[in-house]
A and B are shown apart, each in its own frame.
Chain A
Amino acid sequence: MIEGRSLGQIAWSRLKRDKVAMAGGVVVILLVLLAILAKPIEMVFNLDPNAFHQNLVDPELLAPKGGWGGMSWAHPLGVDPKFGRDILARIIEGSWISMLVATGATVLSNVIGTVLGIIAGYYGGWVDALISRLMDVFLAFPLLLFAISISASLQDGAFGLSGLPLRICVLIFVIGFFNWPYMGRIVRGQTLSLREREFVEAARGMGARGPFILFRELLPNLVAPILVYSTLLIPTNILFEAALSFLGVGIAPPQASWGGMLTSAVDVYQSDPQYMFVPGLAIFVTVLAFNLFGDGLRDALDPRSK
C-alpha cells in the first residue's frame, strides 16, 4: 500500500540522502547547543573566560610561554598572549554572542522583509513601487559606515539599556534592520508568481480579504524560500558581527567574542600565530556548516532549483 506523504516528509527524505547537508546540519545543531549551554558548560568544567594567567605568558615577546600558543592540558587551545586567558573558555563564551546576534538579526530582517515583500508583491501598483524604492534606498545605504557610527555613538546607554545588553541589541538592530531588502525581494518575487495561481483566485472568489490571503494562503507557500534564505543569512550575519567586533564597534571587551578575539590576534600575528587560528577556525566552521546545511535544505525543498 502506498502511503500518502506530506511535502515535509518528502523534503526530509531528500535531505537525509544528502550526506554533506546532514553533516552540516549536525554541526549546526552542536553549535546551537554549545551556544545555549555555554554558561552551564563553563560552570561544569570550571572555565572562566576572563580569568588571567599572566604567569603563562611572556609579556615582552607578546606570546604565551612554550610552543603552540601555550597549549597544555589545563588550557587545551592555549591562552591569549597578553592576559593569559583560556582560549577554549573564550571560544565557548563567544559562541553564544555570535549565535544570539546572528539569529536575532536574521529574525528581524526576516520579519520586516517578509511582511513588506508579501505586501508589495500582492498589492502591486503604487504600494509595490513605494516599497521597492524603499528597498533600493536601503540597499544603497553605506551600511558599514552607518553601523560603525551608530555603534560608536550608542555605547553609553540608550533605551534604558547599557553595557552588554545594549551592545547586543544595537548589533542585532544594525545588522538586521539593513538586511531586510534581500529577503523582501525574494518574498516579493515569489508572491508575484503565487498571486496568479488558482488557489488564490479561488480564495478571492470566495470572498477572502487581503490579510487572510496574505497570511493564510500565500505565507505557508513562502515558508520554504524563507527557511532556506534564513539558513544562508545566519552565516553572513555571523561574519558581519565578527567584522564589527573586529573593527572595535561590536561587543566591548572583556566580554569574549570571536570577532574581538580576531582583532586582538591581528596585533600579534607574527609572534603568536596560533591565537588567530582558533577564532578564525571557529568562524570558518560555523559559516561553512550553516552554508552546507542551507544549500542542502534548498535542494530538498525545491529540487528544481538544483
Chain B
Amino acid sequence: MNTRKVTSALALCLAMALGVSACGGSGGSSSSGKKDQALTSIVNASTKKGGTVTADHSSGPDSLDPGNTYYGWVQDFSRLYARTLLTFKPAAGKAGLTVVPDLATGLGTASPDAKTWTYHLRTGVKFQDGTPVTSKDVKYAIERSNFAPDVMSNGPVYFKSYLADDTKYQGPYKDKSANGLASIETPDAQTIVFHLAKPFADFDYLATFSQTAPVEQSKDTGATYVQHIQSTGPYKFASYSEGKGATLVRNPEWNKATDPIRTALPDKYVLKFNINQRTIDNDLLSNNLTVDLQGTGVEAETQSKILGNKSRLDHTDDAIAGATSYMALNLHVAPFDNVNCRKAVQYAVDKKSVVDAEGGAVKGDVASTLLPPSVNGYTKFDDYPTAGNAGDVTKAKAALAACGKPNGFTTTLTARSDRQPEVDGATAIQAALKKVGITVNIKTFPSDKYFSNYAGVPDYVHSHDVGMMMMAWGADWPTGYGFLDQIVDGSAIKPSGGNNLMELNDPQINQALASAISNTDAAARTKAWGDIDKMVMANASVVPLIYRKNLLYRPDSATNVTVTQAYLGMYDFLLMGSSK
C-alpha cells in the first residue's frame, strides 16, 4: 500500500541519515518530519545541489571574522567559509559531538604530558585567491585573534591562556618580527606545533574554534578584514554590509577532494541582520525563510501559536541548548557561609514552579546537576531530591534550624532585567522561599552590566548583601572542563566581570579540575567531570534550576536539517540546504 511504502522509505531515510546524509529523491519535496525528529536524525535529507539558503538574525554577529567572534552561531556558520584545524562532525544526535579533522589530517598528537600538540595540514587546500594554505597562516590567525585585544576584541582568549608565552608577545599588529609567537612552531608548511604552559588534554576542542581558520597576513587589515574575508571553504563572500547582511556564493578554489565533511549543496546563502524576531518567526512559519541564524528558538508568542497546532508542532525541534540556568549562593554573604542555610534553599526552591514560570517543559527540564545532559561528563544524580521537584518545606525548615535560623532570614536575589524569563524564575523562587520564612528582595540589572558592575563584582555583592544571584551558563566547548572551568574554579573569581558568582574556591575542586585536564585518558577525564559536579553540589552553593531547551522551527524548504549539540543546540549550518 501507498502509506506502507512511505513509511518504509522514511525508515530507510532515517537509517541512512545516521551515516552520511544520502537520501536522494526525497529532496525538494516537502516531507516535514515529526516533532523533535531533527534531534536524532537528519530531516528532509537531500543530495540535490542548488538552492538558496536564506537566513535572518534579529540583531547581527559580533563579527563574521572567524578571528573576532564569540557567538555560537558564528562558530557554526563560519565553517562554510573558514576551515578550522578540527571541527565537529556534521551529524545527527550524539555523533555531532565528535571532533573530526578538517584542515588537519587527523586529531592532534599530544606529548605524554599533554603540553605539546602537533597537527599536520592537508595538502591542496587553497584560499579563494588560489594561494595554498600553510601552517603559517594558521599560526598567524591565532596570533591575531588571541594576542591583539585592541584590534580583535570579541573572541575568547583560550589560546593565550594556555600557550607558553614567555616572550610577552604583543600580537602581530605591534610585533612585526618574522618569528612571531614563540610557543607556536611551524617546522614546515604542513605542520604546526603548539607548546602549552600547563597540561591541557582538551586541546583538540580548542582546535575546533573558528580562530584556527587560516588568515593570510598579506590580506589581513585588522578590524576591517571582515569586509573582505578570504575564504578557505566552499563559499566566499560576494557582498557584506555591516548591520545589514551578507551574500555568500560558491568558491571555485575549494576542492571537494580535500574536504571529507562538507557536502556544499546550496548555491548561495543570503544573510539579513536586524530583522524583528517576530518577522523572522512568521517568515519561518510561512516557509519564506530557511533558518533563524541565532538558533535560540522562536519567541514566546510564536511558541504559543505553534503548540496549539499539530502540523506546526511537527516542524519543531525542542533542542537541548547545552546550558544550565542556576542560582548561585554567595559563600561570603551571611547566612550562606553556613552550609545548612544553603541546603535549606536547595530544598525550599520549587523547581517545577520555576520551569513553569519560564515557559514550561518546552523551555527546559528541571535540573539537578550543574552539567547539562549534552555536555561530555554529565552524570545524572540529585543530592537534594524533593517530591515532584516542587520543594520540601519540612526538609528546608530542618536545614534552617540546623543553620540556627529557624525563623528564616532576609536576603537579596539579582536577575537580569532584560531577560524576562529570568525575572519570572526569580519571582517563582521568591514565592517558594517565602513558605519557609526566607524573605527575598529581587533586584534587577541590565545584562550588559550584570557581571561587570553587579553580580560579577565581589565587593558589590558583599556590601549589598546579595546572597543569591540568577545565572545561566553554556560551555564554550562541550566538555565538563569547558563548562566548569569558568564558573567553579577559584581562579575564575575576579574583582569585576567574574563568572564564579558563588566565589567557590575549594582547594579540592580546584585540584580535581587541574588534575583531570592534564589527564590524557579521555574516559578518566569524562568521569572526573561528573565527580567534580558532585563535589560542587555537595557544597550546595549552586542551585541548578533548568537544563535549557530551545524550540527551533524548520520550514518545509529547509533540507538536511539536524540539531548540532556541539553548538548550543542550534541547527547544523554545514548540512542545511534549501529546496528553494
Contacts and interface: CB of A to CB of B under 8 A. Distances in A.
The interface centre, meaning the residue of B423, B427, B464 with most chain A CB atoms within 10 A of its CB, is: B427
A82 B362 CA distance: 14
28 contacts: A54-B353, A54-B356, A58-B360, A59-B356, A59-B357, A60-B307, A60-B359, A60-B361, A61-B307, A62-B303, A62-B304, A62-B359, A83-B353, A83-B357, A155-B443, A155-B444, A163-B441, A252-B443, A252-B444, A253-B423, A267-B300, A267-B420, A268-B300, A268-B301, A268-B304, A270-B304, A271-B301, A271-B305
A305 B253 CA distance: 83
Contacts of A59: 355-357, 359-361
Contacts of B307: 60-61
Interface of B: 300-301, 303-305, 307-308, 352-353, 355-357, 359-362, 417, 420, 423-424, 427-428, 430-431, 434, 441-444, 464
B230 to A, nearest CB: 44
A52 B441 contact: no
A237 B464 CA distance: 32
Contacts of B300: 62, 267-268
A236 interface: no
Contacts of A271: 301, 304-305
Contacts of B305: 270-271
The interface centre, meaning the residue of B300, B423, B434 with most chain A CB atoms within 10 A of its CB, is: B300
B348 to A, nearest CB: 14
The A interface is mostly helix, strand or loop, or mixed, namely: loop
A283 interface: no
Given A54-B353, A248-B417, A252-B442, A60 B431 contact: no
B301 A270 contact: yes
B360 A267 contact: no
Given A252-B442, A269-B301, A270-B305, 13 more contacts: A52-B353, A54-B356, A54-B357, A57-B356, A59-B356, A59-B360, A60-B307, A83-B353, A83-B424, A155-B444, A248-B444, A254-B442, A270-B304
A63 interface: yes
Nearest to B355: A59
A274 to B, nearest CB: 14
Contacts of B444: 155, 248, 252
A150 to B, nearest CB: 15
A254 B301 contact: no
A227 B402 CA distance: 60
Nearest to B551: A60
Contacts of A51: 431
Interface string A52-72: 101001111111000000000
Contacts of B430: 254
Nearest to B464: A156
B303 to A, nearest CB: 7
Nearest to A252: B442
Closest 10 CB pairs of A and B: A59-B360, A271-B304, A60-B360, A59-B356, A60-B362, A62-B304, A61-B304, A54-B356, A82-B357, A270-B301
The interface centre, meaning the residue of A60, A62, A267, A269 with most chain B CB atoms within 10 A of its CB, is: A60
A51 B303 CA distance: 26
Contacts of B431: 50-52, 83, 254
Given A62-B303, A252-B442, A83 B417 contact: no
Interface string A141-179: 000000000000001100000110000000000000000
A234 B424 CA distance: 31
Interface in A162-214: 162-163
Given A253-B423, A270-B301, A52 B361 contact: no
A162 B466 CA distance: 14
Contacts of B434: 50
Contacts of A267: 300-301, 420
Nearest to B446: A152
B304 A82 contact: no
Contacts of A162: 441
A54 B441 CA distance: 21
Interface string A247-286: 0100011100000000000011111000000000000000
B318 to A, nearest CB: 10
B428 A52 contact: yes
A270 B299 CA distance: 12
Nearest to B415: A253
A153 B360 CA distance: 33
Nearest to B308: A61
Given A62-B300, A271-B304, A156 B420 contact: no
